[in-house]
């Protein structure tokens, strides 16, 4: 009952409330990011949702589009702006994903939506993370986020799928708030952004 109906209803209600309450911050970030990035304030990227169906995730843009002499984008650490670091550190870059929740692409709580190119790299167990809608935050995010290995993240994701409940979602929301306040586990050690998943041979 909760998984198939109540969860979606609560997602819509709280996402709408979240957008209304945060609208002053939302509009302020749009203005300063347009100035800082000298252009777009939003970042759209294709991500797999429930059952691997592709949708476009919406985030605030934290990196500029600077390129090298050959026209290739510079590395993430060189394109991440000072403002972008702050927005990412406070997790404000995730705020536009409330729109994805309203649309039904995502849930407030669930495994994070990753890149489409990772789909063929998952083993059978890891692919089960797509049995539910992806979330803005999830069990892996409150248990290490970007500071833990990919294998551990997927282990947490699958555990969430198997144990999804209202009580667990509330626990994750409360722990997410604490993580954001403490600004913990934002990046992988030695990297400005999360290191790419390269697959594994586990079954």
pLDDT (0 to 100) of residue 62: 87
**CA gap 143, 64 in Å, rounded:** 30
pLDDT of residue 159 exceeding 50: yes
Phi/psi for 57 (5° steps) reads -80, 145
pLDDT (0 to 100) of residue 201: 55
pTM: 0.85
pLDDT of residue 96 exceeding 70: yes
CB distance 50 to 133 below 8 Å: yes
The one-character DSSP state at 107 is E
Q: What is the pLDDT of residues 99-147, one digit of tens each?
A: 999 999 999 999 999 999 999 999 999 999 999 999 999 999 999 877 7
92 token code pair: 């404000």
pLDDT (0 to 100) of residue 2: 93
Which alpha helices (DSSP H) does 38-183 contain, by range? Answer: 76-79, 82-89, 97-103, 150-163, 166-182
């Amino acid at each position: 009952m909760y998984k198939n109906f109540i969860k979606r209803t609560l997602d819509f209600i709280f996402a709408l409330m979240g957008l209304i309450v945060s609208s002053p911050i939302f509009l302020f970030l749009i203005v300063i990011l347009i100035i800082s990035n000298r252009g777009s304030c939003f970042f759209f990227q294709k991500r797999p949702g429930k059952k691997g169906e592709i949708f476009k995730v919406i985030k605030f843009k934290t990196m500029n589009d600077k390129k090298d002499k050959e026209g290739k984008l510079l590395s993430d650490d060189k394109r991440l702006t000072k403002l972008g670091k702050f927005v990412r550190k406070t997790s404000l870059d995730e705020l536009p994903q409330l729109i994805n929740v309203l649309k039904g692409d995502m849930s407030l709580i669930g495994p994070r939506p990753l890149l489409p190119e990772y789909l063929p790299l998952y083993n059978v167990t890891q692919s089960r993370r797509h049995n539910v809608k992806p979330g803005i935050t999830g069990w892996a995010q409150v248990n290490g986020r970007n500071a833990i290995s990919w294998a551990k993240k997927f282990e947490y994701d699958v555990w969430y799928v198997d144990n999804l409940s209202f009580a667990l979602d509330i626990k994750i929301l409360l722990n997410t708030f604490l993580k954001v306040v403490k600004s913990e586990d934002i990046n992988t050690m030695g990297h400005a952004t999360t290191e790419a998943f390269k697959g594994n041979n586990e079954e």
